[in-house]
Amino acid sequence: MVVGSGVAGLITALRLAPLPVLLVTEGALGAGGATAWAQGGIAAAVGPDDDAGLHAQDTLAAGTGLGDPRVARDVAAEAATIIGMLRQWGVPFDQDAGGKPALTLEAAHSRRRILHAGGDGTGAALIRTLAARARASGTIDLAEHCSAEDLLVEDGRVAGALLRRGGTLAPVAARAVVLATGGIGGLYASTTNPAGTWGSGLALAARAGGELRDLEFVQFHPTAIAIAAAARRDAPLPLASEAIRGEGGVLVDDLGLPVMSGVPGGDLAPRDCVARAIWKHMEAGRRVFLDARDALGPRFPRRFPAITALCRAAGIDPVSQPIPVRPAAHYHMGGISTDRRGRTSLPGLWAVGEVASTGLHGANRLASNSLIEAAVFGRRAAADIRHTSRPCCLPHSGDRLTALQANAPGSPAIPAVEAELRRRMDDAVGVVRDRDGLQTTLAWLSGLRDTSAEDGPLRRKVEVALMITAAALARTESRGAHTRRDFPAADPGWARHQAVEPERVRPAARPLTVLSLGDQPA
């Protein structure tokens, strides 16, 4: 069973063939979660002046001491093979005049190594191609509009999941479960992530007793388009890709002064440095803009068609106007701990993509390393499952989802509380944190959890937010994307990962058993 249908879930499911797979996806297949919104591209050292060693080196430098060199080397070395596989599957990467993949530059990469498709539509092109392939595969059964409510654990092994479609719950057995549920941006008011990315996979793994780590490391993309609050309501902020700065765009404030002058790396400094610099300007009452008029001007719409449309929808013409920008929660470096095969601490459970903490990103992810990590680990996890699982003899029983009586009404939405949670995460667990803000938020979240009678999505969001906040409070230093106003320097004593004890969030024991096929759920 693969839960999640972004690039990580789809590649895992496709590479599991000939094993039968149940692919569980919250929306319709092809929506693609955060992958479909990925603009910049996918990093791979395929240029003539590049090699995997340089890519690994840049990845580790961005990760500020917490990246795992073996994982960085693995991913960089396998990247070219992954690109070959994706091209063979039909992903239409943009080409240069000589018919080679067109390569762009993004922050903190020492070479042009970002492949892209449709200019700035890389994620959407990937999802279209992979989803079509999954539909045609013959080995993948789809459970669309369906989510995993809990993992089923038997004798210490993950043995399936309790699936929900609408008001219907069904336990479904599986020899191997792969979580590919994405990130946590939806826990923040200012995020570039689609709604629904709130750490559901983290909640599933934690509740089953799996190890999570480094949850304090949340990456804030420096250049979300700063749409006025009244116009955006609770919607995510559209992104203005880092590739715009790779093509020469610059950050200026409302006085026209450069934002990044004096910061090593300038406009192409690592993402955490740029986000902090913009935040500092905003705290000083300035507005910040991404100005691509000189660098791209009339070429902007051809190179960045999707971003042009997003800007124009917000009333901004990027050809003739600077784009107002601000940092927004974008990517979670922390996640479910895995080894180099994507195995979690729980037998029977693998995690791939953003929900996983493989060790690649350390404290700060290098731009465009997320899609390549998702693809490499999807392929690795699938290979591991193929080699270690006995052939599956159980039918998927996905049909039972439609056949069952509606017996579990969805929990009522509590939008006001959720809006408050997201606002508090922005304020206290955002680009810059301190003890007072973190402690106050932790107390508020704990109170909410302890008084909440329901055990639905809100409670799970609170649990995930609690774990992130507690981890941020515990790490008394600044490193990578985790910036503490009260501990502004990196502390060599903290040059280590931080595991989260799932016991802190596990709810009162709820018996989970795999029902044999034909049984009705309890």
Q: Pick the closer one to ligand SIN by CB: 12 or 364.
A: 364
Dihedral of CA atoms 341, 346, 349, 351 in degrees, nearest 10, equals -60
Mapped onto helix, strand or coil, the DSSP state of residue 263 is coil
| Per-residue tokens: 252 | 């200026």
In angstroms, what is the minimal distance from the CB of 38 to ligand SIN?
6
Long-range contacts of range 436-443, CB-CB < 8 Å, 24 or more positions apart? 438/469, 438/472, 438/473, 439/473, 441/469, 442/466, 442/469, 442/470, 442/473
Enzyme catalytic residues: 271
In angstroms, what is the minimal distance from the CB of 119 to ligand SIN?
11
In angstroms, what is the minimal distance from the CB of 71 to ligand SIN?
17
Q: How many residues bind ligand SIN (CB under 6 A)?
A: 10
| Per-residue tokens: 32 | 């693609």
Beta bridge partners of 2: 23, 178
Beta bridge partners of 332: 218
Q: Pick the closer one to ligand SIN by CB: 105 or 189.
A: 105
Q: Pick the closer one to ligand SIN by CB: 270 or 502.
A: 270
Among 74, 242, 426, 463, binds ligand SIN (CB under 6 A): 242
Mapped onto helix, strand or coil, the DSSP state of residue 24 is strand
Give me the 339-368 binding string for ligand SIN, x by CB under 6 A, dash otherwise.
----------------------------xx
In angstroms, what is the minimal distance from the CB of 51 to ligand SIN?
21
Among 181, 190, 197, 241, binds ligand SIN (CB under 6 A): 241
In angstroms, what is the minimal distance from the CB of 241 to ligand SIN?
3
Q: Pick the closer one to ligand SIN by CB: 210 or 362.
A: 362
In angstroms, what is the minimal distance from the CB of 254 to ligand SIN?
23
Return the residues of window 105-144 that contact ligand SIN according to CB under 6 A. none
> Is residue 39 a contact residue for ligand SIN (CB under 6 A)?
yes
> Is residue 78 a contact residue for ligand SIN (CB under 6 A)?
no
Stretch that binds ligand SIN, among 22-30, 166-174, 237-245, 407-415 (CB under 6 A): 237-245
Please give the radius of gyration of the chain, using alpha carbons only, rounded to the nearest integer.
Answer: 22
Q: Pick the closer one to ligand SIN by CB: 214 or 242.
A: 242
Return the residues of window 431-460 that contact ligand SIN according to CB under 6 A. none
Give me the 310-339 binding string for ligand SIN, x by CB under 6 A, dash otherwise.
---------------------x--------
Residue nearest to ligand SIN (CB): 40
Q: Pick the closer one to ligand SIN by CB: 179 or 243.
A: 243
Q: 475 to each of 184, 326, 463, 491, 492, how far by Cα in Å?
A: 19, 25, 19, 10, 12
> Is residue 40 a contact residue for ligand SIN (CB under 6 A)?
yes
Specify whether the CB–CB gap between 179 and 453 falls below 8 A.
no
Q: Pick the closer one to ligand SIN by CB: 5 or 241.
A: 241
Q: Given the structure tokens 């080409």, which residue do they identify? A: 95
In angstroms, what is the minimal distance from the CB of 60 to ligand SIN?
16
Residue 110 is classified by DSSP as: S
> Is residue 104 a contact residue for ligand SIN (CB under 6 A)?
no
> What backbone torsions phi and psi does residue 143 show, to the nearest 5 degrees?
-115, 90
Give the CA angle between residues 287, 290, 292 to the nearest 5°. Answer: 145
Q: 57 to each of 30, 41, 246, how far by Cα in Å?
A: 34, 19, 19
Among 36, 243, 251, 296, binds ligand SIN (CB under 6 A): 243
Stretch that binds ligand SIN, among 76-84, 138-146, 236-244, 355-363 (CB under 6 A): 236-244
Stretch that binds ligand SIN, among 37-45, 78-86, 419-427, 497-505 (CB under 6 A): 37-45
In angstroms, what is the minimal distance from the CB of 39 to ligand SIN?
4
Stretch that binds ligand SIN, among 32-40, 83-91, 458-466, 483-491 (CB under 6 A): 32-40
Which residues have C-beta within 8 Å of that of residue 44, sequence separation ≥ 6? 55, 79, 80, 82, 83, 113, 115, 372
Q: Pick the closer one to ligand SIN by CB: 192 or 441.
A: 192
Among 35, 190, 370, 397, binds ligand SIN (CB under 6 A): 370
Q: Pick the closer one to ligand SIN by CB: 165 or 361.
A: 361
Q: Given the structure tokens 């986000």, which residue do they identify? A: 275
Give the CA angle between residues 165, 167, 172 to the nearest 5°. Answer: 45
Specify whether the CB–CB gap between 376 and 10 falls below 8 A.
no
> Is residue 308 a contact residue for ligand SIN (CB under 6 A)?
no
Q: Where are the beta strands (DSSP E) in 83-240?
A: 103-104, 114-115, 140-144, 147-154, 157-165, 168-173, 177-179, 212-213, 218-225
Q: Given the structure tokens 């700065």, which residue do they identify? A: 245
| Per-residue tokens: 487 | 């501990």
Binding residues vs ligand SIN (CB under 6 A): 38-40, 241-243, 331, 367-368, 370
